[in-house]
Amino acid sequence: MLERALSLPQAWTDDVGRCARAGMPPARALATKPPRARQRLERALDAAGPAAWVAGERVYGDHRQRRAW
């Protein structure tokens, strides 16, 4: 299973015209790596994919609140 999401630099997401031309929804918010990781995990678990464990690197894996979740 592969869970993925588009990540864009803040300079791009701050450009409303660019986002509109790219078809991005008007309601969007900047999210740092830990919240994005939780969103991805939630989508994967909601899809009932098989998961016995989850691995993460330094930024994704070293977030105590998410690990406790």
User: What pLDDT does residue 2 have?
Assistant: 60
Please tell me the distance from the alpha carbon of residue 30 to that of residue 7, in angstroms, as a whole number. 9
pLDDT in tens, 15-48: 889 888 988 887 766 777 778 878 888 888 888 8
14 DSSP assignment: T
End-to-end CA distance of the chain: 21
Q: Can you give the pTM of this predicted structure?
A: 0.56
Task: Name the nearest CA neighbour of 55 among 68, 69, 67.
Answer: 67
- Whether 19 contacts 28, CB under 8 Å: yes
